[in-house]
Amino acid sequence: MRIGVITFPGSLDDRDARRAVRAAGAEDVALWHGDHDLSGVDALVLPGGFSYGDYLRCGAIASLSPIMNEVVDAANKGMPVLGICNGFQMLAEAHLLPGGLIRNDHGAFIRRDQHLRVENTATAWTNGFTAGQQIVIPLKNGEGEYVASAETIERLEGDGRVAFRYLGVNPNGSINDIAGVTNERGNVVGLMPHPEHATEPGFGPDTRAAMRSGVDGLTFFTSAIAALQAA
């Protein structure tokens, strides 16, 4: 399987995402924001960072990049697409996911190993988890507060489209502790924490077993591979 990772001006975690793709057993494909060609990839990752300097709104300019025309088209046709942090903001700005992300309610940038609860295991990126499973994924954001209209939140909750929820502490004020959501089809997922930073022993969050041994993030990428193989 070939999974593309798109680099935008200001991307910081594109190489980490590509390394995660390789750790999961797929071929990583580097894509550029100015391209109009997805190079025949089977899935896409929009990585974290500060695309275009976060001008206007985080992800707003990136959502209008040339390659996003191809991303929207591929997503609407069912291709698995994962937006991480800034990538989540892009997917919201591109209307591939509902709601939006605004400045953290405490007004400060935050970085921590974040406990999450898996709410939806029926997506292309979460099928390897079990419902209610608790995982630990690194988090780092300044504009991570998830907001949406009351009607949208009610629909997301009612349809089971909240993919992940913050546990222990809500780090940014997100409504209903929402850390990630999915589209109706389940092929597009966005989340604020960074699974690509928890895919290899020695580089992930601390666990009870050992320091830096957390690899909960790897399941995002192996889930996508499993979904593609089953399609």
Residue 154 appears among annotated catalytic residues: no
Convert the pLDDT of each residue in 209-229 to its tens digit: 899 999 999 999 999 999 999
Which member of 58, 85, 115, 145 is catalytic? 85
Residue 58 appears among annotated catalytic residues: no
Q: What is the pTM of this model?
A: 0.97
Residue 85 appears among annotated catalytic residues: yes
The whole-number pLDDT of residue 209 equals 87
The angle formed by the CA atoms of residues 22, 26 and 30, to the nearest 5 degrees, is 70
Question: Can you tell me the distance from the alpha carbon of 196 to that of 208, in angstroms, rounded to the nearest whole number?
Answer: 20
The whole-number pLDDT of residue 172 equals 98
- CATH for 2-230 (3.40.630.10, 3.40.50.300, 3.40.50.880, 3.40.50.620): 3.40.50.880
Convert the pLDDT of each residue in 148-195 to its tens digit: 999 999 999 999 999 999 999 999 999 999 999 999 999 999 999 999
The answer to whether 132 and 117 are in contact (CB under 8 A) is yes
The residue count of the chain comes to: 231
**Mean pLDDT along residues 14-20:** 98
